[in-house]
Each structure stands twice: as structure tokens, then as C-alpha cells.
Structure 1
Amino acid sequence: MNKQVLKKRIAVADKEIPADLVIKNGRIVDVFNNEIFKADIAITDGTIVGIGEFEGKEILDAKGRYVSPSFIDGHVHIESSMLIPSEFAKVTVPHGVTTVITDPHEIANVSGKKGIEFMLANAEGISQEILFMMPSCVPATPFENNGATLTAEDLTPYFQHPKVLGLAEVMDYPTLRSGDNSIVDKIAANTGGYTDGHLAGLNTHAVNVYRAAGIKTDHECTTSEEAKERLQRGMYVMIREGSASRDLQRLINIVTPYNARRCLFCTDDKHIDTLVNEGSIDHNVRKAIKLGLDPITALQMATLNAAECYGLTRKGAIAPDFDADFLLLDDLETLKISEVYKGGKLVAKEGTYLGDESVANKHFSKLTGSVNIPELTEKDIKIPLTQSQAKVMEIVPNSIRTNKLMADVDMVNGFFIPSSDKDFLKIAVVERHKCTGNIGLGIIKGLGLNAGAIATTIAHDSHNIVAAGANDRDIIQAIQELKHIQGGLAVVVDGKVAASIPLQVGGLMSSQPYDVVYKQVHQLHEVMAELGFKGDFDPFLTLAFMTLPVIPTLKLTDLGLFDVNKGSHVNIHDE
């Protein structure tokens, strides 16, 4: 710390000179003692330097409102919002989130180091602190084709970057368990940093393996039993509430006064419309309180716990030597956020972003043109069947997991025929990075489309094209529309494009302002409603996770159907 800055802080704390800013008449949320108390808060150079009675050059009258630390999202893929980082901040800061821990895993699987460099550059000069974990799994698995490869040698320089905290979610358990150098070298290169886990559906033996590797977090718990097993073995448990994965209601009962400090919140993957309409980490806090969790404990999980998990020693509390990142809350039940401050500066008020918008270089040109596929016809997506009994991927609403069914499906002349009445639709995954021509085909149940087809280039984690629909003509047209707009989302009905959203930045993010993207998404959902879609889940985000071969049970990659429990591709007929 600069010597003069240090002397100034000491002088303000000692009341020799006035603070830059003093908050008066506020009720401080004490996340250390789990209580509320009244006192002045002295702030100098963006740092809290005293709690008590102080005078300042500027006075902020809290008018009896609660002064809480601002929120930290413990794990988020910004790309899933369909926004670039600078636009993502404009949506999430008004919801009280001034710090996020992000994993640029999605754009890295499309564009490698170019994608990481873009995310780092675009996150500079904005009123949200975006901290990074370097993607550990690029490619995510050997069971699909993606757009790039990142080795330990590629990642090592980034570990010295001031905004990089460590290594992101390790999701390839078989590779980790075998001690393969492809992952061990990355963990070893992350000297002094933090390493995140991804233990979806794994048992306690796997937890031991992850902990032995120095991995201390998991955001993939979906049951109380899983959460407790991880807590018992010294892990931090991130309780996730995203757009597709909503785990909070199932997990919140695991939080007790004894283990709460090892629990925090994250969103993981959340679309722009859900962020705007529902919120970010504030939604997690609000929902936890509604389900009976003590309000201050819920706030602690969203602030101090997340900070301590990642060694952010100057974040997450209202106390001396902590960053002046705080919220003014009208109450602790509805959690209405009236004002948001970052470093002592007002950055959002009554839901409106007021922060710095200066972003020097957006680097869009390096990440466009990412959809490379051959010309396709309906013949390319025919699914041959030797019998009517076939494997079916069944969607679990508001979950990224699927069920594996053996069901009687319709067939004509030895080929599968989609049936909207039975809700058996066709799903296709088309490799889009290197124009290989690979197409994986399957049958999906639970998507709820009565007609037409939908397609997207957001398809975790390799982000090939995934399309599903009630007939081959519309599926092919939807795929071709994504080629035309170079990535995004599309809805096709009767051979015509009913709606589409261009996502030119790696096929994942829009170059447009967030409000434009929000309107586009709203229009897309209106079209879906007109088609008769009545599901209580986001069909596009749900579709995006049907390609993820590290989440149980049956998934689809560009190489075919994949049984996650078996760890291999499978035939459509085999049990």
C-alpha cells in the first residue's frame, strides 16, 4: 500500500482529519456477529476505515435503511447471459452484485486464448469487479469436438494476472482420477491459487479424489445428502439458482448455524431475461429468506462467505480495511435495493445502472465468424431404427440432468418420425467449429414443442449447434439460419424463420446493448408462446445442456448419444 494512503487512513480512523464520505443513520448488517447495530461508517479512498462516530467531507444519510455488504456471485459463466462483460455489469450491478467470480470456459471452448483475452479486456474500466478462474477443461471432455485446446503451458501466464484467482471447475472426473497429466499439470501450475470443482452426480469416493487434488468447491449439489458429504470433507458448497438449474429449494435446509460459513451462493448460468426479471444473487438471498433462512445468514452467504472462499480478504463485510462495496436496503424481507455503491461511489439507484461505461477495446472482430458447417439436407438428420423401442432423453424441468428412457417411438420405412402428440421430438448436434460434418442424432422428450424447430449455438460445453423440432425441414432451416447469422438462437415454423437472435461474439454473446438483447429474447419467447410452448422452463437454455456429457444421465454430442453413467457413447437401441 502507498505510504501516504496508509497515513491518510490512519489519520481518518483516529479522527484527526475528516473522512471522504461518512454514512449516518444506517443500520449496519454485521455478518461477523449475525446482528444489526447502528453507527457511522467512515470511508476514505474507497475503503472503510472506521465504524463509530465520524465527520466527513460528504455525508450520506441512510435514513434508517440497512447498510449491507454488496453481493458476490461465487461462480458464473457471463457468456450464458448472452452479454459481453461490460453489458452484463449493467444488468447485475443494480441487483447489488459488485463482484463476480467468472469462468470464461464457454468462450474459451470456442476461441481459446483469444476468447479469454477478450473477456479480460472487456471487463476493464467498468463498475463491477470481475475476477476470473482460468478454464481447466478446454476441451471439456474427449467425447465431443470443440473449437480450441488449452494446455497447462497456455494457462500458466494467466495465473499471474491480477484479476485471475485460480483454476476453474474441474469437470472431467475420469481424467482427474487417473492422474492424467493433462489435468494434473494445470492444477500444479496454479501455484497459490484456488481450484474449483464440478462433482455432478459423484459419490463420496470421488469427493475424496477431488479434495486430495486440492479442489475445495462444488456448485453441482442437487440433494441435501450430496451437500452434506461435501461439507464433511471440507468443501465449500455453492448453492446454485440459475435459469436451467434451480437447486436452492432442495439444498437450503442443509444450512445450519454450525456450517453456514462453508456455504455461499452462485448463479452459474443465467439468461439475460431471467437476470432482468428475477435478479442475480439478490434472488438467491430473497428466496432463501422466504424459505425460512435467517436474513443475516442469507446475506452472509452472499457476501462474507463468498469472499472468504476465494481469499478476498477486503470484501464481504462492513468493517475497517474492507472495500466500501455496500448496499442500502429498505428491508430484510423483500430485500429491496435502493442504492448500490462500489468503492464508495454510487453505481446504481432504484434499479438503474449509474456506473462507468468506458470500455477501451471490445475486440469483437477476433471472435466473429465462428459457425463453420457444410450445407445440410433433411437426409443428413434421418435416424435409422431397426425396432420401435429406442433410447430417449427425457428433460427434467429446471434441471440440467436428464432421465434415460426406453420407449416405443413412431417409425416409418425404418426411420424415426417425431410426434408432438407423444412429445417425442428429434434432436441434432452439429459440429460447427471446423466443418467436420459430424452430426449426433437422438430423440428427446419433455421439450413441449407442438410445431416447428428451435436451434442455438449455445450448447455446453463445446458449443456446437444443437437443434430440436417436430419435423426435419424446420430443423434444417433452423440450423441454416444460425449459419447465416453466425451464431445465436432461432425459431423456425413451416420452413420460415419466425424469430432469431444474432450472437456474433463466438456464437455466444451479442455485441448489442443489454436492453436490445432483452427485447430480442422477449420477442423470441412470444413466438414460442404462439407456437403453444407452455413449459415453466427456458427451452433454449434447457436445450443447451442436453449436450453436456459430464451431467447425468443421457446426453448428445456431435459424436452421438452419450451415457454419462457408462462414460461412453451408446447405440440408440441398447439398454
Structure 2
Amino acid sequence: MSKIINIEKYIDVAAGRKKAELVLKNTLYLNVFSNEFIRADIAICDGIFIGIGNYLGERELDFSNKIIVPGFIDSHIHLESSLIDPIEFSQIALKHGTTSIITDPHEIANVCGKRGINFMLDVTKNIPLDVYFMIPSCVPATQFDESGAIINSNDINELLKEKRVLGLAEMMNYYGVIEKDDEIIKKIKYTLESGKQVDGHAPFISGIDLNGYIVAGVKTDHECSTFNEALEKLQKGLWIMIREGTACKNLEALLPLISYKYYERCVFATDDKHPEELLLQGHIDYIIRKSIKKGVDKILAYKVASYNAARCFGLSNKGAIAPGFDADFVVLDDLDEVSIVSVYKKGINVLEETEHNKLNINYYEKEYPEVFNTMHLEPLNIEQIRKNNIPLPLIGLIPGEIITKDEGCATGIDTKNDILKLCVIERHKNTGHIGIAYVKGYGLKKGAIATSISHDSHNIIAIGAKDEDIVLAVNELRNMSGGMVIVLNGRTLNKLPLKIAGLMSDMKANLVIDILNSLKEKAYELGVNKEIDPFMTLSFLSLPVVPKLKLTTFGVVNVEDNLLL
């Protein structure tokens, strides 16, 4: 029944005339409205908080020695980047106190288009974790990308009608916004006309260009890497998504924002999170814990992780422990350590009282065959990537960042000077297009590494110290329907198949983590710089919306100048 139908019942329970279904007795809870911890009984019915005070319940739990806080919300994540299917992801995230996420499925949309988005909506519709969607705004991300599908303004207008869709995902084509590209403006207008919001993606955009970007309707940004950049955007009205994921770790730089002066316009996000970090370090709970250890006021940290995110996305029934709000909350032993005892979703202990399902792979392979058959290319041969003595751009890596620098040119592989060959091979429509460049800072001394995860178009990206090994790595991925692979001297050392769009595995998280860790260990043994994640870093080298140089199937893109070199 809806809340409206049950108004009379809720009034009776709230007024103490009837017992509540569940009462949390003598609980110390975070009040996000007065910014304090208060001790009281909390009454729950039909999955919502009914009253705060003194209550009797059909079922009572003594929380005298516990603390409860609102369930955590990840304000921006790409579920596909977890490498595991959404059901498996949800079970891990819930254990870490995350009760809602806002996902942008632009990874699978770039591979499978609307059918990929529908697959994600379908898979997540009946799981304990609340999964909300922002519709990908840039598929492909730019004119320099060669994705497997196009999501146009009409597609977006249709998808915006979905109840769990909250708006338009990160508008990466800030150049298109500022230059008033017709299709970009249509996408934004359709979103605003539907009463939903537009997320931003604007690294280093400032001044009058930032004004133009914001006035178009953008409400958030998750690409801030310095305090001053974030402060300018916050002062101009943007919500700042403080990001701490696997590839991008901006929390420490942005910590000054989590103060009483600025925190009300801040939320937490992970963006991309590999499974081993999710399982072992945590999710939003990890960001809270790290913030508190760095000196952030604990009330502000928990509020940014819950109530602020709900306000940012207009989720008026989430993020607070108060009458009428969804009973999504986390039970803690220790505030500083974010020591989780249990997690409740709509009044149900999801760690004890819910059945944990597994992805029905047979059903989805039948319903969405295009999601499981995404490798459409001929075998690669060595002549296609030979570029001996031809000067090509040299891309410089920056540890801990997905931005790169221009290191000039190189004419060949030179492992003594840490210069490797980088190739991006189109895999969606068998166009035969291959982009080639060189990379400095990756560290590989021998062999080759390849993956079908390469943002955002997710063509095959391979890096190597030897052409023959690059070719083998690419063909291995082709034959196993996508994934990750390491080869050396004509032999495959290890691989992780990702049969869901070449992006996600249908295996249990522990197994995926074991294989992924083995791959990373092997990569480091072959010389990869230990300051970077071998696969996450590689996957972002083809993202032509983050400065400075990136490689696509068409060649090297100078992102700042919006030019193909």
C-alpha cells in the first residue's frame, strides 16, 4: 500500500494509539536537521519512519548501545566499472551501509545502446538496493569516439519517462554545451522539461565558460581535483561530488569543503570502484571513515553521505531519520570507524532477513543476446600495428589521476626510457579502425596487457613492449568475448573473461577479485608502475573528454583543443 492510503494508520501509530510494527528502543540517532545525536525510541511501519519519542511495538529491538545513521547514498557511480553484475554489487554495497545509488550506465550504453540501459534497468528492478539512473548524455562521448551505439535526444526523451530515471547523466561534452550544439541542447531541454536534472562533467572549466555551462541547466560536477576549482563551482551554485574511487582519488584535495561553511553543497561519489576495493576497503563507508580520520566533523561526514545526496537528487523521502522518511538506516558500533552492525532497507535487516539472489544468466542471455555478443572484429595481424620509425604522439601518465600530459613524440618502443606502444582497436562494427600512439609512465618492461574496458566507447585497448604480444592479447580478448588479459612472449599468462558486454563478469565477486589480483600482480612483475592501477589506468587512456591527450580508434585527441592530432 502507498503512504497516502495508510495515512490513518500512521497517524494512530505516531500518536501512540496503536503499536508500531517495529520499534528501535533507546536509540542514539543522527538528526540531520539539527546536526546532533539524540536518544529516543524510533517507530517504523510499512518501511517508513513513523515517529520519534516513546513507543511500543509488535517487535522491539534494544539499541541502547548502538548508533543509527541514515543509509548511505553514492551520488555517482558506473556500476559496470565494478566488473561484477549489479546483483552481486548490491550485496556487497549493502554490507557497507549503502542503501541507494545513482548510476550512469554509459559504459554499457556505449556498447549496446538503449538495450544495454534496459538490461541494467531490468536487472536492478527487484533488488534490495535502490538503484536510480541518470541517462547517458554522450554516447558516443565526442565526435572522436567510435562506440557501438548512439543515444540521441529522442532516446533520452523516451528513457526519461522511467520512474527510476532521475535525469541526464554527466554532460561530458562541455564544449558542445558552450557552443550550443543542437543535439546537446535538445537533450538538456528534454531533461529540464521533464522536471529532472542534469549532471555535469567539467574538469578545469572556469570563468565565463563555466557560467555558460551552468546556465544551460547543469547542477553537479564530480571532476574537481583541486579545492579552488571546486570552490568556484560551488560558489556558482553547483553541487560538488567529492569523488574517491579506484582511479580518481580527490577526497584529500577537497576535504576543506566538508566544513560548516561549504558542506551543504557537497555529496560523496565513487564514480568507478573495482571489486577488491569495494569488498575490502568499503564503499561510501570508506569515504566517511577516511574523512573523519583526516579531521572532518563526523556529523558533517555522515550528513554528506546521506541527506545531502538525497537533497541533491530530489529524493525527498530519503536521507533522514524522521517521520515520513524511508526507514533506510545503518546500525553502528563506532562512529569514527564506521563499524557496521546491521543495515536496514525500508525497515528490513537486509543482511539477515533478505534472500541473496544470483544473476539468472540463462534468462538474460536469452532476453538480451546483444549484451552477451559484443566482439565484432576480425583477428588482428601484426602489419596493422607496425609503425616503425614514424613519429607518433607520446602520452604521459600522472599517477593517481586520469588526466595526462603531452610528452611530445616517439618513434618506437623503448622500454629503457619507459616508452610503450598503445593501440585502440574498434570492436563493435568491424570497421578495422586502429589508433596508435606511445605512452610514458606505465612502466611495463615486457609482454602486453589488453582490456575491452576502455572509456567510454569500450573498444579494445592494448599496451605492450612488443608488437607480437600486443596482437596476441587483442586476439585473446576477441576470442573470449571481452575481458582482461596479460601475455608474454607469445603465451597467455592470465585472463579474466567479462561476458556481459565485455564489461562485467557473471562470476561471484570473490572469484573475480582473485583473478583480478592475480592479473595485477603479474602486471607489476612485468614492471608496471606500482603507483598506478594497471587496468583502470589503461582503461582511461582512451577517454577523449579528460585532458590532455587520449587515444581513440581514430588517433590521438588533444582534448583541450578539441582536435585530432
Q: Do both share a fold (TM > 0.5)?
A: yes
Name 1:397's counterpart in structure 2.
399
**2:473 touches 2:487 (CA, 8 Å); kept in 1?**
yes
Name 2:373's counterpart in structure 1.
369
Q: Tell me, in whole angstroms, the C-alpha distance in 2 between the residues paired with 1:60 and 1:419.
A: 66
**1:127 touches 1:356 (CA, 8 Å); kept in 2?**
no
> Structure 2 vs 1, CA of residues 531 and 139 (structure 1 numbering), >3 Å: closer, same or farther?
same
Name 2:336's counterpart in structure 1.
333
> Mapping of 1:40-55 within 5 angstroms?
40-55=41-56
- Deviation (angstroms), 1:515: 2.6
Q: TM-score, normalised by structure 1?
A: 0.94
2:554 is aligned with 1:559: yes
**1:144 touches 1:558 (CA, 8 Å); kept in 2?**
yes
Q: Tell me, in whole angstroms, the C-alpha distance in 2 between the residues paired with 1:302 and 1:453.
A: 40
> Mapping of 1:112-123 within 5 angstroms?
112-123=113-124
Name 1:31's counterpart in structure 2.
32
- Deviation (angstroms), 1:338: 1.3
Q: Quick one: which of 535, 538, 557 aligns to 2:533? A: 538
SS at match of 1:489: strand
SS at match of 2:160: helix
- Deviation (angstroms), 1:183: 1.0
Q: Tell me, in whole angstroms, the C-alpha distance in 1 between the residues paired with 2:322 and 2:345.
A: 15
Name 2:408's counterpart in structure 1.
406
Q: Which runs of 5+ in 2 are unaligned?
A: none
**1:125 touches 1:356 (CA, 8 Å); kept in 2?**
no
**2:91 touches 2:356 (CA, 8 Å); kept in 1?**
no
Q: TM-score, normalised by structure 2?
A: 0.96
- Deviation (angstroms), 1:284: 1.1
> Structure 2 vs 1, CA of residues 25 and 543 (structure 1 numbering), >3 Å: closer, same or farther?
same
> Structure 2 vs 1, CA of residues 7 and 13 (structure 1 numbering), >3 Å: closer, same or farther?
same
The more displaced of 110-119 and 330-339 is 330-339
- Deviation (angstroms), 1:545: 0.4
Name 1:357's counterpart in structure 2.
357
Q: Which amino acid aligns with 2:144?
A: F
- Deviation (angstroms), 1:3: 4.9
**1:554 touches 1:563 (CA, 8 Å); kept in 2?**
yes
Q: Which amino acid aligns with 1:474?
A: D
> Mapping of 1:191-230 within 5 angstroms?
191-230=194-233
Name 1:308's counterpart in structure 2.
311
- Deviation (angstroms), 1:356: 4.5
Q: Tell me, in whole angstroms, the C-alpha distance in 2 between the residues paired with 1:394 and 1:499.
A: 27
Q: Tell me, in whole angstroms, the C-alpha distance in 1 between the residues paired with 2:5 and 2:111.
A: 46
Name 2:293's counterpart in structure 1.
290
- Deviation (angstroms), 1:384: 4.2
Q: Quick one: which of 263, 276, 279 aligns to 1:276? A: 279
Q: Tell me, in whole angstroms, the C-alpha distance in 1 between the residues paired with 2:61 and 2:368.
A: 40
Q: Which amino acid aligns with 1:329?
A: L
> Structure 2 vs 1, CA of residues 386 and 80 (structure 1 numbering), >3 Å: closer, same or farther?
closer
- Deviation (angstroms), 1:112: 0.5
2:399 is aligned with 1:383: no
Name 1:573's counterpart in structure 2.
none
> Structure 2 vs 1, CA of residues 86 and 11 (structure 1 numbering), >3 Å: closer, same or farther?
same
Q: Which amino acid aligns with 1:39?
A: A
Q: Tell me, in whole angstroms, the C-alpha distance in 2 between the residues paired with 1:383 and 1:40.
A: 71
- Deviation (angstroms), 1:8: 1.3
SS at match of 2:350: strand
- Deviation (angstroms), 1:538: 1.3
Q: Tell me, in whole angstroms, the C-alpha distance in 1 between the residues paired with 2:36 and 2:56.
A: 25
**2:115 touches 2:368 (CA, 8 Å); kept in 1?**
no
**2:441 touches 2:529 (CA, 8 Å); kept in 1?**
no
- Deviation (angstroms), 1:81: 0.5
Q: Tell me, in whole angstroms, the C-alpha distance in 2 between the residues paired with 1:243 and 1:2.
A: 39
Name 2:320's counterpart in structure 1.
317
2:498 is aligned with 1:497: no
Q: Which amino acid aligns with 1:531?
A: L
The more displaced of 23-32 and 335-344 is 23-32
Q: Quick one: which of 434, 442, 460 aligns to 1:439? A: 434
- Deviation (angstroms), 1:359: 6.3
> Structure 2 vs 1, CA of residues 2 and 290 (structure 1 numbering), >3 Å: closer, same or farther?
closer
Q: Which amino acid aligns with 2:357?
A: E
> Structure 2 vs 1, CA of residues 530 and 311 (structure 1 numbering), >3 Å: closer, same or farther?
same
2:521 is aligned with 1:510: no
> Structure 2 vs 1, CA of residues 110 and 257 (structure 1 numbering), >3 Å: closer, same or farther?
same
Q: Deviations over 1:402-422 (max 9, x none)?
A: 111126x5xxxxxx4322221
Q: Tell me, in whole angstroms, the C-alpha distance in 2 between the residues paired with 1:406 and 1:526.
A: 31
Name 1:412's counterpart in structure 2.
none
Q: Which amino acid aligns with 2:444?
A: L
**2:403 touches 2:547 (CA, 8 Å); kept in 1?**
yes
**1:125 touches 1:357 (CA, 8 Å); kept in 2?**
no
- Deviation (angstroms), 1:507: 0.8
Q: Which amino acid aligns with 2:109?
A: A
**1:323 touches 1:343 (CA, 8 Å); kept in 2?**
yes
**1:73 touches 1:100 (CA, 8 Å); kept in 2?**
yes
- Deviation (angstroms), 1:550: 0.7
Identity of aligned pairs, percent?
42
